[in-house]
Structure 1
Amino acid sequence: MKTRTKIFCGLSAMILAVVLSAHAKQGARRTAADNDSTRTPSVAKENPVVPETSVIDEVIWVVGDEPILKSDVEAARLQAEADGHKFKGNPDCSIPEQLAVQKLFLHQAAIDSLEVSESDISQGIEDQINYWIQLIGSKEKLEEYRKQSVSEMRQAMHDDFKNNRLITMMKDKLVADVKVSPADVRRYFNALPADSIPLVPTVVEVEIITQNPKVRQDEINRIKDQLREYTDRVTKGETTFATLARLYSEDPGSARQGGELGFTGRGTLDPAFAAAAFNLTDPKKISKIVETEFGYHIIQLIDKRGDKVNVRHILLKPRISQEEITNAEARLDSIAADIRSGKFTFEEGATFISDDKDTKNNHGLMAYTDQENRSLTSRFRMRDLPTEVARQVESMKVGDISQPFSMVNNRGKTVCAIVKLKSRVEAHKATITEDFQVMRNVVLAKEKEKKLHNWVVNKIKQTYVRMNDRYKGCDFEYQGWVK
């Protein structure tokens, strides 16, 4: 309700496998010893050396009190290869080192009491899944490709997304005071060989008008009947609200918690949801059905503290038919024709006709948060545009208006849209006069990288590290692992 990443296997199951393997080996040694005690020393046999290839799993590094398993390295290798990542140096050395560095950042994040809220984790996972859906074309194609349901993807991604977010937060904290001056930028740029001057990618500005496909009344009735049934089952004592939320709620973040949102202020909730939640007074009663931009909800009060409330909810999202998508695209086709004929401008259409709440107050101009600079900008690199928008913009000229198309927005809803290309700056070699900000970001990134590198080297000196002997001859990026 509150408003992408490398996946590594979890440790718990693997650690259990290692412990069981160790117990099995100890038992085998005791049995062998008992058998050998009945023999003469001349016929006793030494325990054979187990080939490495026959080991199912093992702890290969320990960083602090955190183990790194052989299976972790293999999982990271497979994921990186799937993502097209090229390794620096020997992957057998670089991958466990990368995992070890992550352990250092996570350890420091725990010391500094950094936390990630469940709502942030949920939103981040949803953004990643929606990006995949846009990339591959549909939810069904994504599930077929990954051989997992979307629900299974969410569960598998949770812990790793949380850890990656903590690592990012820790890095941001460590480099928060790094600054560069204009003189630093000029010195760096002047010292660069001509063939090393960075290429500035194509940058575009895009305006958008969206129409939400209408939901059929019989679909709305189906959703409401289902929510009423849930309310009746809880009221009659047949089951609990939390159980039904875990089983059926389509809000992935809270469903894991039995629908619980945690103590939340009114301003972070959808207005209609907030009004219903803050009006609840009896934890034994369930709210009437509430409609928000996310779908339809029922809500149960847990507790109130001052200006914050803790509730559970169940969210169900209506399904959109292809007929309604076609109708919405037809409406947009008519709007585009009126704009081309001069009846009104694209910007006026975006302001008064568009259903897109994020852009209609800005005349339809799309914007996003640049993660590198932590700033809101309307200047998109093509890779940062939603996939379906980028496909339209790729072949457009400045001032062109696209044909209607459908896409999944950042809230996971199917919408139909037309876009106008407002501006385009083609890819070019950076110049200090026209691309100062780009050059500043390059220099700033290098200074931050240097500080993080030095922090890791120093942290290694203060941290217990043990590794299998076969890794001690590796050419590591960071010095000090071998002690």
Structure 2
Amino acid sequence: MNKCKFVRTCVCLLLLCVGVSAYGQDNVIDEVVWVVGDEAILKSDVENERLNAQYENRRFEGDPYCVIPEELAVQKLFLHQAEIDSVVVSDQEVLQQVEARTAWLIDQIGSKEKMEEYYNKTSTQIREMLRENIRDGLTVQQMQQKIVGDIKLTPAEVRNYFSKLPQDSIPFVPTQVEVQIITQEPKIPEEEIERVKAQLREFTERINKGETTFSTLARFYSEDPGSARRGGEFGFTGRGELDPAFANVIFNMTDNKKISKVFESEYGYHIAQLIEKRGDRVSFRHILIKPKVDEKDINAALSRLDSIADDIRKEKFSFDDAATWISQDKDTRNNHGLLANPQTSTSRFEMQQLAGLVSQDLAKVVEGMQIGEISKPFTMINAKNGKQVCAIVKLKNRIDGHKATITEDYQRLKSIVTAKRSEEKLQKWIVDKQKSTYVRINPNWRNCDFKYPGWIKK
């Protein structure tokens, strides 16, 4: 152990025995509750994790003051090994997740001020806390991947694993569907587009005259609910995370005192303001206004889709061909309208996934359909961009809910066995690492039923 680590360990041990007091005063500011190797776990660390878990409605199997310190201790084991193995995560990756996490917290809690009140910290202190936690979390993930390695399974191994499972332990696969879609966007009159552009130009003029701020207008008028409550502000974002038209404008901006010209993306029309550039990432504000769709234009699109559906039923052309040549859904028309599930990289959706990833309206229509049936035209809100579109769908396939089988669900079962093997490798590593790692637990924090009993050495 080098001199620096030796001193740090001695300090941890001293604090573990006497607590941390404020310049000799009686009130205790913080307390070391565990020492793992040469790293201390503070009571404040445990409290921060408990607050996060409370806000995220996480339930603990046991006393949080036993579960959380042990989880942090396990993390310390991985971090110590990562230091030995020189496992490093990039600052850019950490920053990206800090910005995303901060934005999520503000969005969930309601405002930056409420977030600061909830954590009893300034936003700078919260970001610093997040930076440390996220860096540690990413480092642990990389270390775990290194320990687990590439697990290769044969079909025979997967079959063998599930052949030994009791019937009541075989996983149940919910009903899944495969759906093809044809969409038409209702035509928006030019005068409505001009109205939206004029409104955004007026916002720019008011900001430039100093009558108001970009943030104020975004809060009142932007139709992007996620960023509007933050004054239109996005966290640091990479080019690939943005709509291409949006990215072209944002990444060409250089002056944070200027407002962009009005521009269009797949979401609607925007103006934007650069906040800061850091390498290949930018932070910015924007205001989104969506042109209003007239009822007569919706009806016209529905009528056209009704005619297309009739022609398909009369076999004038196939649904596949219509999706390829007529549909305005750019994500599916090159695949004959077949929707792809981004979570599984397949065309199968559980109904809950279909509602959350594509559209609740679409899921309601599909639920009562028969295989091969073509729906009546309907309107739906696209979950991706929030736009109202008109659609018809064909139920290509339905796989009813069932207990998993090797023939029907091999990939799902393989992933379960892979996860099980990974968990077994990690648990064995933790048990072995405990034996060679110095651990000291504050006597007041020892009365626990730990998941890994080897913390307290006899």
- TM-score strictly above 0.5: yes
* Contact 1:211-1:355 at 8 Å conserved across structures: yes
* Contact 1:203-1:426 at 8 Å conserved across structures: yes
Number of aligned residue pairs: 410
* Contact 2:196-2:291 at 8 Å conserved across structures: no
Is 2:399 aligned against 1:425? yes
Q: Following TM superposition, by how much is the alpha carbon of 1:204 offset from its aligned partner in structure 2, in angstroms?
A: 2.2
Pairwise mapping of residues 291-370 of structure 1 onto structure 2 (< 5 A)? 291-299=264-272, 312=284, 314-318=286-290, 320=292, 323=295, 327=299, 332-370=305-343
Equivalent in the alignment of 1:447 = 421
Q: Following TM superposition, by how much is the alpha carbon of 1:401 offset from its aligned partner in structure 2, in angstroms?
A: 2.5
SS of 2:397's equivalent?
Answer: strand
* Contact 2:186-2:390 at 8 Å conserved across structures: yes
Residue identity over aligned pairs, in percent, reads 45
* Contact 2:176-2:348 at 8 Å conserved across structures: yes
Equivalent in the alignment of 1:13 = none
Is 2:384 aligned against 1:384? no
SS of 2:202's equivalent?
Answer: helix
* Contact 1:122-1:252 at 8 Å conserved across structures: no
| Residue type of the alignment partner of 1:76 | A
SS of 1:453's equivalent?
Answer: helix
* Contact 2:79-2:139 at 8 Å conserved across structures: no
Cα separation, 2, equivalents of 1:126 and 1:213: 33
Q: Following TM superposition, by how much is the alpha carbon of 1:205 offset from its aligned partner in structure 2, in angstroms?
A: 1.3
Structure 1 spans left out of the alignment, 5+ residues: 1-21, 30-56, 130-142
* Contact 1:350-1:360 at 8 Å conserved across structures: yes
* Contact 1:171-1:452 at 8 Å conserved across structures: no
Among 142, 145, 156, the residue aligned to 1:175: 145
| Residue type of the alignment partner of 1:292 | S
* Contact 1:264-1:309 at 8 Å conserved across structures: yes
Cα separation, 2, equivalents of 1:104 and 1:231: 54
Over 3 Å counting, the alpha-carbon distance change for 1:258 and 1:439 in structure 2 is closer
Equivalent in the alignment of 1:32 = none
Map Cα deviations across residues 85-106 of structure 1 (whole Å, 9 max, x no partner).
6x54556644554466567778
SS of 2:345's equivalent?
Answer: strand
Equivalent in the alignment of 1:211 = 184
Q: Following TM superposition, by how much is the alpha carbon of 1:293 offset from its aligned partner in structure 2, in angstroms?
A: 0.7
Equivalent in the alignment of 1:34 = none
Query: What root-mean-square deviation, in Å, do the aligned CA atoms of Structure 1 and Structure 2 show?
Result: 5.3
Cα separation, 2, equivalents of 1:101 and 1:325: 59
* Contact 1:121-1:253 at 8 Å conserved across structures: no
Equivalent in the alignment of 1:474 = 448
Pairwise mapping of residues 23-422 of structure 1 onto structure 2 (< 5 A)? 26=25, 61=33, 64-65=39-40, 67-70=44-47, 72-73=49-50, 76=53, 79-80=56-57, 88=61, 93-94=66-67, 97-98=70-71, 101=74, 112-114=88-90, 115-116=92-93, 167=137, 170-171=140-141, 174-175=144-145, 177-182=149-154, 183-213=156-186, 220-221=193-194, 223-236=196-209, 250=224, 252=226, 269-276=242-249, 285-299=258-272, 312=284, 314-318=286-290, 320=292, 323=295, 327=299, 332-370=305-343, 376-387=345-356, 388=360, 389-403=362-376, 404-422=378-396
Cα separation, 1, equivalents of 2:22 and 2:167: 62
Map Cα deviations across residues 282-312 of structure 1 (whole Å, 9 max, x no partner).
7765432111112222345789999x68584
Q: Following TM superposition, by how much is the alpha carbon of 1:447 offset from its aligned partner in structure 2, in angstroms?
A: 1.1
Q: Following TM superposition, by how much is the alpha carbon of 1:444 offset from its aligned partner in structure 2, in angstroms?
A: 0.7
Q: Which has the larger displacement, 253-262 or 314-323?
A: 253-262
* Contact 2:78-2:143 at 8 Å conserved across structures: no
Cα separation, 1, equivalents of 2:430 and 2:96: 30
Q: Following TM superposition, by how much is the alpha carbon of 1:367 offset from its aligned partner in structure 2, in angstroms?
A: 0.9
| Residue type of the alignment partner of 2:290 | P
* Contact 1:251-1:314 at 8 Å conserved across structures: no
Q: Following TM superposition, by how much is the alpha carbon of 1:445 offset from its aligned partner in structure 2, in angstroms?
A: 0.9
Q: Which has the larger displacement, 436-445 or 119-128?
A: 119-128
Map Cα deviations across residues 400-436 of structure 1 (whole Å, 9 max, x no partner).
2334242341234444433221112223344445543
Q: Following TM superposition, by how much is the alpha carbon of 1:188 offset from its aligned partner in structure 2, in angstroms?
A: 2.2
Map Cα deviations across residues 339-396 of structure 1 (whole Å, 9 max, x no partner).
33434332233223333221121111111233xxxx6211223343224243333332
So what's the TM-score if we normalise by structure 2? Answer: 0.66
| Residue type of the alignment partner of 1:443 | V
Q: Following TM superposition, by how much is the alpha carbon of 1:174 offset from its aligned partner in structure 2, in angstroms?
A: 2.4
* Contact 1:401-1:421 at 8 Å conserved across structures: yes
